[in-house]
Amino acid sequence: MQAAEAVETIQREMTVFARRARASAGRLHPELSLVSYTLLGHLEESGGCRATDLAALHALDKSTVSRQVAALERAALIERRVDPEDHRVQLLHLTDAGRRILAQVTESRRAAFRERLAEWPPGDLERFAEYLVRYNAWGAPPAG
C-alpha cells in the first residue's frame, strides 16, 4: 500500500466510523448520550469544573452545555455548587449516583471494545492506540 493510498483509506474509514458512531450514539446507553458521557467523564477526571470549561473543551456552545448540565442535574448525576470566591460561577461535581452510572457505562463500553478487539495481537493494539492518540492530538491545545 502506498502512503497516498493509506491516507485515502484512513479518510474513508474515519468517515465510516464517524457515521456509525453518530448513528449508534444514544442507542447503546439511552441513559447517557455520548456528549453526556464525555461531560461526566471530564468531571470525574478533573474533580469538578465550570460549565464554560466543558463548553470550551468540547467545542460546544455554552447554551448547549447549560442544557446538558440542567438535564444531568435533573437526573441527579451531577450537582452545582456556587463558587464561594465568585458567585457567577457554578462548580459542577459528580454525585454518587453520577459516579455509579458513569462507571457502569464505562464498564459496558469497555466490554464492547474488549470483545471487538479480542482477536488483535497485543502489538497491533498498542500501535493502533498510539496512532489514534497521535491522530487526535493534531491541532489539539497542548495538554488540553
Partner DNA sequence: GTTCTTGGTTGCATAGTACAACTCCAGGAG
Partner DNA sequence: CTCCTGGAGTTGTACTATGCAACCAAGAAC
Q: Which residues pair with 80 in a beta bridge?
A: 92
Binding mask 91-120 for DNA (x = CB under 7 A): x-----------------------------
Burial of 26 (0-12, 13-18, 19+ CB in 10 A): middle
Binding at 133: pick from DNA, a copy of itself, none (beta carbon under 5-8 Å per type): a copy of itself
Q: Which residues contact 99 (CB under 8 A, 6 or more apart)?
A: 44
> Which positions from 37 through 66 interact with DNA, judged by CB under 7 A?
50-53, 59-64, 66
- The answer to whether the beta carbons of residues 51 and 92 sit under 8 Å apart is yes
Binding mask 6-45 for a copy of itself (x = CB under 8 A): xxxxxx-xxxxxxxxxxxxx--------xx-xx-------
Is residue 68 close enough to count as binding DNA by CB under 7 A?
yes
Burial of 9 (0-12, 13-18, 19+ CB in 10 A): exposed
Question: Would you tell me which residues interact with a copy of itself (CB under 8 A)?
Answer: 1-3, 5-11, 13-25, 34-35, 37-38, 58-60, 109-110, 113-114, 116-117, 120, 122, 124-136, 138-139
